[in-house]
Structure 1
Amino acid sequence: MRALSPPVGLPMLAESDLVRQVARRLSDAIVQGRLAPGAKVAEAAVARELGISRAPVREAARLLESQGLLRACPRRGFFVRALSAADVDELYDLRLCVERHAAVAASRRLTAEARAALRRQLGLMRELAHRDDPARIVEADYQFHRLICETAGNSRLLRLFDGLASELRLVIGLIGRLYDDPHEIARTHEPVLEAIEAGRPERIVAHVDHHIGVAWREVARLARTLSPTPGGAA
Structure 2
Amino acid sequence: MPAPGQLRPVPRRSTAELIADQLRSAIMYGSLSPGDQLGEADLAGRLGVSRGPLREAMQRLVQEGLLRSERHRGLFVRELTPADVRDVYVARLAVERTACELIMRGNRGEALARLTPAVDRLAEAAADGDRDEMSDADQEFHRTLVSCSGNSRLERMAQTLLVETRMCLTVMQDVYPQPEELLEEHRRILDAIVEGEEERLLALIESHMIDTVTRINGEHGTVGGDGEVPEGGPVE
Q: Give the TM-score of the pair, scaled to structure 2.
A: 0.69
Percent identity, aligned pairs only? Answer: 33
Task: Note if contact 1:37-1:80 (Cα within 8 Å) is conserved in structure 2.
Answer: yes
Cα deviation 1:35-90 (Å, max 9, x = unaligned): 22111012222222233433333222112112211111122111001122222222
Aligned pairs (5 A) from 1:101-116: 101-116=98-113
**Structure 1 residues 78 and 31, CA, compared in 2 at 3 Å: closer, same or farther?**
same
Q: Which residue of the other structure, out of 59, 62, 86, is the alignment partner of 1:62? A: 59
In the alignment, structure 1 residue 199 sits paired with structure 2 residue 193:
no
Cα deviation 1:90-113 (Å, max 9, x = unaligned): 232232233234324423434333
1:141 matched residue in structure 2: 138
**Structure 1 residues 106 and 133, CA, compared in 2 at 3 Å: closer, same or farther?**
same
**Structure 1 residues 53 and 150, CA, compared in 2 at 3 Å: closer, same or farther?**
closer
| Cα distance in 2, alignment partners of residues 50 and 100 from structure 1 | 37
Task: Note if contact 2:129-2:179 (Cα within 8 Å) is conserved in structure 1.
Answer: no
**Structure 1 residues 23 and 101, CA, compared in 2 at 3 Å: closer, same or farther?**
closer
Q: Structure 2: which 5+ runs fail to align?
A: 1-11, 220-236
Looking at both structures, which has the greater relative contact order when contacts are Cα pairs under 8 Å and sequence separation is at least 6?
A: 1
In the alignment, structure 1 residue 75 sits paired with structure 2 residue 69:
no
2:207 matched residue in structure 1: 210
In the alignment, structure 1 residue 36 sits paired with structure 2 residue 30:
no
| Cα distance in 1, alignment partners of residues 185 and 125 from structure 2 | 15
CA radius of gyration, larger in: 1
In the alignment, structure 1 residue 172 sits paired with structure 2 residue 166:
yes
| Cα distance in 1, alignment partners of residues 48 and 143 from structure 2 | 34
| Cα distance in 1, alignment partners of residues 114 and 60 from structure 2 | 31
| Cα distance in 2, alignment partners of residues 80 and 201 from structure 1 | 38
Please state which structure has a larger fraction of its residues in helix: 1
Cα deviation 1:17-51 (Å, max 9, x = unaligned): 2x233222221111112222111012222222233
Q: Structure 1: which 5+ runs fail to align?
A: 1-12, 223-234
Task: Note if contact 2:92-2:161 (Cα within 8 Å) is conserved in structure 1.
Answer: no
Q: Which residue of the other structure, out of 114, 117, 141, is the alignment partner of 1:117? A: 114
Task: Note if contact 1:99-1:149 (Cα within 8 Å) is conserved in structure 2.
Answer: yes
SS of residue in 1 equivalent to 2:118: helix
1:4 matched residue in structure 2: none
Q: Give the TM-score of the pair, scaled to structure 1.
A: 0.70
SS of residue in 2 equivalent to 1:178: helix
